[in-house]
Structure formats: structure tokens, C-alpha cells
Amino acid sequence: MSDALSYLIRARPEAMRHYFRFLKETGKHLDPKTRSLISVITKVHAQTEAGLKQYVRRALDDGATPTEILDALLMAFPALGLSKIVWAVDVLLKSDLAEFRVESRHAAPAWRRVGELKRFAAGAATRIECDGRALFVYRSGRTFRVYDSHCPHERTDIPLEALSGRELKCPKHGWTFDVANGACISVGTRPLRRYRSKTERGVLYAHW
């Protein structure tokens, strides 16, 4: 959320409550993916970079593919025009979203080798690079949880220094997560993105 919106919520809570209720009501009959795609288009129309990053991530989490997101933008061409679509693609490229990299767009989802189990200490989180993505891996005994290192708010790549015990605090706006379960425990509203994982013959794998 932008600083201006946060300010308005504090300064004019009654009016803003109606505004958010209105937005919720208008999307009531749409599935989450469609809602997110429409939000992506509105963020491009208003050219709010932070909002675009946030809603592109949300659309991906709600099941939209990168191609569907690009098609939604292209279909909105009569309203957006070429320059706003190009602006949006520039933002996506700058954000270095793994899903939009050319090599990833044609790569089928697969199990990726993250590392040998013994390199992950029990009761602790580790940050690791794997196939072009940065991950946080939390180990609890024989259970592993693998998360994308990017904040679900505005895609900040959260560094290792942001980790303190089980708490991972995004340096940009302070959303704080519990790496034991990925939940957002302070400031924000959305959990870390979690990848499916499995162990086989002493090796941890993640799927994307």
C-alpha cells in the first residue's frame, strides 16, 4: 500500500472504509485470478510501480501464468496504449521475476535440487540460491519448508541479514514473517510464497 493510502486510512478512516468495502463488493462475483488480473491492469493504467509489483505477484499466486498476465495487458491495449504496456513490461523486467525470464517461460515445472539435507541445521533457516532463485529453507527435524526469498508485498528480495531466529523482517516496509510456517506475523497481510518440496536419498528438492 502506498504511503498516501496509509495516510488517508489514518486521516479519514470512515471514508476510506467505504471505499474498501466498495472495492470488495464489486469483486464479489469474480474468481481470485480474474480479480487479480483486473487489478494488474488498473495498476498499469495508474502507473503505480509498487502496486503493479504487488498485484502481479498476487495474480501469479492466484494461479495466473506469466502469459495470461501479458495477454491481460495486451487485451487492455485500447485503454492502456502501447507506452503504458511497455512501461509495465519494463517494471516486470526490472523486478527480475523468475517467472517472466525468457528461459523460465518455456521451462516446464520440475523438481529442482536444492541441496543435501545435512547442510540445513535443524530449527534454523538458511538462505540459498537454486536454479536462479533465492530461497529460504526452514528445517524442523525431518520436515523442510522452502520459501521464495521475495517479499509478497512489493517483491523486495529479502537478504539473509533480515533473519533473526525464526523472524524474517523485510527491510523495505517491515512486513515480518515466521519462517517456521511462512505466516506474516506483523505489519502485513500475506504469507511468504512457499514451494512444494520433497526429500530423496539425503537431498532436498523444491518444485516450480
Site size toward ligand FES (CB under 6 A) is: 9
**Closer by beta carbon to ligand FES, 99 or else 154:** 154
Smallest separation, CB 118 to ligand FES (Å): 31
The rounded distance, in Å, linking the Cα atoms of 73 and 77 is 7
The rounded distance, in Å, linking the Cα atoms of 78 and 153 is 29
Burial class (CB in 10 A: 0-12, 13-18, 19+), 158: buried
Judge contact between 200 and 207, C-beta under 8 A.
no
Interface segment toward ligand FES; rule CB under 6 A; list 24-32, 40-48, 104-112, 172-180:
172-180
Smallest separation, CB 132 to ligand FES (Å): 20
Which parts of 25-44 interact with ligand FES (CB under 6 A)? none
Judge contact between 134 and 147, C-beta under 8 A.
no
Q: Considering only residues 35, 43, 57, 153, which one is a binding residue for ligand FES as defined by CB under 6 A?
A: 153
Nearest to 47 by CA among 9, 81, 24: 81
Q: Is residue 95 near ligand FES by the rule CB under 6 A?
A: no
Which residues in this chain contact ligand FES in the complex, by CB under 6 A? 151, 153-154, 156, 170, 172-175
